[in-house]
Structure 1
Amino acid sequence: MPSVSVRPALPADRSVVERLWLMFRHDMSEFQGASNALPNPDGTFRDERLRAAFEDVDWAPYLVVCGDRPAGFAFVRGLGSPVRVLNSFFVVRGVRRAGVGLRAVGEVLAGHPGAWEVAFQDANRGAVSFWRRVATEAAGDRWSEERRPVPGRPELRPDVWISFSVGGGEGREKGEGGVGE
C-alpha cells in the first residue's frame, strides 16, 4: 500500500474533488431515497455540500492521497463552532478495507481537536461498522450514538449520529493515541 496522506484541498484540486464527488454520490444514492437516487439530467448529482466545502469559510475540504493519486476526500463543517461535523467522507472502493479510510479520518480529526459529530445511514452497513470503529479508536468508550430525523425529509429513515471528542485529553483514556495512530 502506498503512503496515505491528507492535505487541504486547494482551489486547483476542485476538479479532482468534483470527480470523486460523483463517485461518492453514486455510492450514496443507494441510501438516499428515490428522489436523490438518480443523477440530474446532465449526469451530475446535487452538490451543495461540495460547493460549501470550497466556498464557505466555516468549512474545510481535504484531499486523501495514496502515493501520488487521489483516493478520497473529507469535508469538515463547523470550524468556528464548538462541535465540528465530518460532513462528507469518501474513499475510493479500490483502497477500502486497507486502512486508508481509518488513517485519513485520523489525520482529519487530529487537525481539529475537540468535539465531533458524524452522520450516516443504518442501511449502509459498511459505514455503521467503520464509524463505530473510528469513534472507539478516537474516544474509547466515551462516544454516543443517536438517531435524528433528516431535516425536511420525513420520508427518509433518521440518520445515525455519532458524537465524540478528540485531542487535548478529551475523549481518550490517558496514554491512548488518536484514530489511525
Structure 2
Amino acid sequence: MTDVSVRLADAADQPILERLWLLFRHDMSEFSGALPNPDGTFRSDRLQAAFAQADWAPYLLTSGASPVGLAFVRSLTAPTRVLSSFFVVRGARRTGIGLRAVQEVVAKHPGPWEVAFQESNVAAVGFWRRVATEIAGDVWTEARRPVPERPDLPPDTWITFNVPAEAQG
C-alpha cells in the first residue's frame, strides 16, 4: 500500500485544495453533467465552506511531498457527520490510499457518518461499499435520496455507518 498522510488543512493549503477541487469537479462532471463556469472554474461552495464554516473541516491528503487528494467533512457538531467531498487523484487510485485516508479522516471524528455517491459512478459504488465494510463490518446501511434542488438528477446513494470512539487516530 502506498503511504498517505492526512492532515487538517490550513489557509496556506487553500491554493493546493483549490487546484485539487478543480480536478475533483472535473471528474464529477461526468456524472452530474456540470460544465465549467465562464472563467473555467467549477462551482466551489463546498470548498469555500470547508475553510469558512466552523462546522466543516478540510483535509489534505499527501503521499510524500505530493498532494494526492482532499476530504471535506461537514456537520461536525451535528449528530451525524457527513463526508461531503472526497477525492484522490487518478495516479494514486487503486493503491489503497483512498481507503486508508477515509479511515484516518473518520477516526478523527468518531460517531455516526454518512457519505453520498452516484450509482452511475461504478468505481465509487464499489469503493464506498468496501469502505463501509472495512470500517463497520456488516453494520452499515444504504439508501437512495433525491438530490436537493436537482430534480433533473437521479437520487444519490447514501451509506451510513458508525465509527466507535476507540477507533480515534
After TM superposition, give the deviation of residue 69 of structure 1 in Å: 1.1
Structure 1 runs of 4+ with >2 Å offset:
none
Are residues 1:132 and 2:133 paired?
no
RMSD: 1.3
2:143–2:157 contact (8 Å) kept in structure 1: yes
What TM-score does the superposition give when structure 2 sets the normalisation length?
Answer: 0.96
User: How far apart, in 2, do the equivalents of 1:68 and 1:103 lie?
Assistant: 17
3-state SS, counterpart of residue 114 of structure 2: strand
Are residues 1:27 and 2:27 paired?
yes
Are residues 1:54 and 2:48 paired?
no
1:2–1:67 contact (8 Å) kept in structure 2: no
User: How far apart, in 1, do the equivalents of 2:9 and 2:2 lie?
Assistant: 20
3-state SS, counterpart of residue 122 of structure 1: coil
Amino acid of the residue matched to residue 131 of structure 2? V
Aligned pair in 2 of structure 1 residues 120, 2: CA closer, same or farther (>3 Å)?
Answer: closer
2:2–2:95 contact (8 Å) kept in structure 1: no
1:53–1:76 contact (8 Å) kept in structure 2: yes
3-state SS, counterpart of residue 12 of structure 1: helix
Q: Which runs of 5+ in 1 are unaligned?
A: 170-177
Q: How many residues get paired?
A: 168
Q: Deviations over 1:101-128 (max 9, x none)?
A: 0111110011000000000000000100
Superposed, 1:43-122 pairs within 5 Å as 43-122=40-119
User: How far apart, in 1, do the equivalents of 2:9 and 2:142 lie?
Assistant: 29
After TM superposition, give the deviation of residue 87 of structure 1 in Å: 0.2
Percent identity of equivalent pairs: 66
